[in-house]
């Protein structure tokens, strides 16, 4: 199913959306751009330039892949890791925003999440 997408989603989009969450830091992983929270892996651009590996729980990964197999997928390398791959070329900004938050919540310290949530509810 083809979808109309008003804008191209890139790793810069991922980085921009991730910057809204406290503790997110730029870095590299296997020679590509990556994001971390308190030195913990959150996401990385893969060598193909079109997919991003995100840290998520195994249950969340299965739900995402079943719900949107054109966007979320897995390779054998990531099968044993709590991660899912996202195709930038088929994802919308909203879908990227959702996985960025899910990934951030999976790696951020509980205190950081609690502080962020309380600040968001105070607005």
pLDDT in tens, 13-69: 999 999 999 999 999 998 999 999 999 999 999 999 999 999 999 999 999 999 999
Tell whether 5 is covered by a domain. no
The CA–CA distances, whole Å, from 109 to 27, 80, 114 equal 19, 23, 9
Tell whether 6 is covered by a domain. no
What does the radius of gyration of the chain's CA atoms come to, in whole angstroms?
Answer: 14
Distance in angstroms (rounded) separating the CA atoms of residues 42 and 68: 21
> How many domains does one find in the chain?
1
The whole-number pLDDT of residue 5 equals: 46
Q: Is the pLDDT of residue 3 over 70?
A: no
The whole-number pLDDT of residue 7 equals: 72
Tell whether 62 is covered by a domain. yes
The whole-number pLDDT of residue 1 equals: 45
Backbone angles phi, psi at 48, to 5 degrees: -70, -10
Read off the pLDDT band of 123 (50, 70, 90): low
pTM for this predicted structure: 0.91
Identify the domain containing residue 18 by its residue range. 11-122
pLDDT in tens, 94-112: 999 999 999 999 999 999 9
Q: Which 8-state DSSP code applies to residue 73?
A: E
Tell whether 88 is covered by a domain. yes
∠ Cα 60 108 30 (to 5°):
80
Which residues touch 55 (CB under 8 Å, ≥6 apart)? 40, 41, 42, 43, 82, 83, 103, 106, 107
């Amino acid at each position: 199913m083809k979808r109309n997408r008003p804008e191209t989603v890139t790793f810069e989009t991922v980085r921009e959306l991730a910057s809204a969450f406290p503790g997110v830091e730029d870095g590299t992983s296997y020679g590509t751009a990556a994001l971390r929270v308190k030195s913990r892996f959150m996401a990385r651009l893969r060598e193909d330039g079109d997919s991003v590996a995100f840290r998520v729980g195994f249950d969340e990964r299965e739900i995402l892949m079943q719900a949107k197999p054109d966007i979320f997928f897995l390779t054998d390398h990531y099968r044993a890791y709590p991660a899912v791959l996202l195709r930038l070329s088929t994802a919308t900004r909203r879908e990227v925003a959702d996985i960025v938050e899910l990934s951030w919540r999976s790696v951020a310290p509980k205190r950081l999440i609690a502080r962020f949530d309380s600040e968001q509810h105070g607005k």
